[in-house]
Amino acid sequence: MTPEDILSHPPLTLSQAQREAYFRDGFVAVPGVVPPDTLARIRAKSEEFLDKSRSVSGRHEFFDLGPNHSPERPHVRRLRKPVDADPYFWEVAAGDVMTSVAADLVGPDVKFHSAKLNYKWPGSGELVKWHQDINAWPHTNYSPVTLGIHLDDVGEDEGPLACVPGSHEGPLYSQFGADGNWTGHLSAQDEAKANLDSAVNLTGPAGTVIAINCRTIHASFANRTNRVRPLLLYVYSSADAFAWAVSPTPTSHSGEIVRGQRARFVHMDSRPCEVPPEWDKVGYNSIFAAQKAGM
């Protein structure tokens, strides 16, 4: 579907102006979307998992752990596949609140792609360099949108996600280094071309939903507070978008239609996307690990 087709459907949760801002800028932040009781339950689940991580070490299906993780000082960088780790995360992913926001941005037929719960700890451990998401999990079109839920208030100091306005309409930059290895971020030369100074911080109170188009250049910086910043991220696409490469972060629900109907026809966008590594062969840990190590 084109943005015009999508906007011709009446809005469900977002205002028409917020939907237009998303298509113009490639992102939007909308406060007050997630009801307080849902937010409280998600937070409680998040705490439960942070607590469980105390008894975990090394590589784990769900926990991406920082190098100094210990039972006394848990350091979980990411809860992978939260929708498989606990049914409540799937209930939220497939529920009306999130799928109606997705439908406002991808059209009435919505497909679920993946999910993660990122933690940004005080200090600069979980910096995320400038990147575009779709390079890692390309689709036949560029409808995929990441919807993030701020579990706590996020101001300038918490290391908010920052997006470059209009970059979703620009080129997709390579995320391979000069040595041919995946780096997961733009090169310094491309950063210089990407108008990064115009980036906008997606701040907002707990319950804010941020939406980032899959082509939008974004990053996130140091958490300068003494509190961890959790960010629950769900990825959706229009039903007529099909992944054409193996996903780096598959879940048992990936590809499920969570609202509306299955597509009869695929929508192909002619803008090219570089072929990512074969994740099933090379493995994928997390963006933090990939960006630090160049895989």
Ligand X SMILES: O=C(O)CCC(=O)C(=O)O
**Cβ of residue 71: shortest distance to ligand X, in angstroms?**
24
Q: Contact letters (x/-) for ligand X, 95-134, by CB under 6 A?
A: -----------------------x-x-------x----x-
Q: Does the protein bind ligand X through residue 237 (CB under 6 A)?
A: no
255 vs 243: CA distance, rounded Å = 9
SS3 content of the chain, % helix, strand, coil (to 5): 30, 25, 50
Measured at CB, which residue is nearest to ligand X? 220
Shorter beta-carbon distance to ligand X: residue 11 or 125: 125
Q: How many residues does the chain have?
A: 295
**Cβ of residue 287: shortest distance to ligand X, in angstroms?**
5
Residue 264, classified by CB atoms within 10 Å of its CB into exposed (0-12), middle (13-18) or buried (19+), is: exposed
Shorter beta-carbon distance to ligand X: residue 14 or 228: 228
CB 87 within 8 A of CB 255: no
**Cβ of residue 133: shortest distance to ligand X, in angstroms?**
5
Question: Facing residues of 122 across strands?
Answer: 223
Shorter beta-carbon distance to ligand X: residue 33 or 231: 231
Residue 56, classified by CB atoms within 10 Å of its CB into exposed (0-12), middle (13-18) or buried (19+), is: middle
> E strands, 164-208, where?
200-201
Shorter beta-carbon distance to ligand X: residue 109 or 251: 251
Residues 190-229 that bind ligand X (CB under 6 A): 218, 220
Which of 112, 114, 146, 135 is closest to 26 using CA atoms?
Answer: 146
Shorter beta-carbon distance to ligand X: residue 92 or 161: 161
Question: For ligand X, which residue of 79, 231, 241, 258 counts as binding (CB under 6 A)?
Answer: 231
**Cβ of residue 113: shortest distance to ligand X, in angstroms?**
13
> How many positions of this chain bind ligand X (CB under 6 A)?
9
238 vs 266: CA distance, rounded Å = 10
Pairing of the two strands 128-131 and 209-213: unpaired
Shorter beta-carbon distance to ligand X: residue 141 or 175: 175
CB 74 within 8 A of CB 50: yes
Q: Does the protein bind ligand X through residue 161 (CB under 6 A)?
A: yes
**Binding region for ligand X (CB under 6 A):** 118, 120, 128, 133, 161, 218, 220, 231, 287
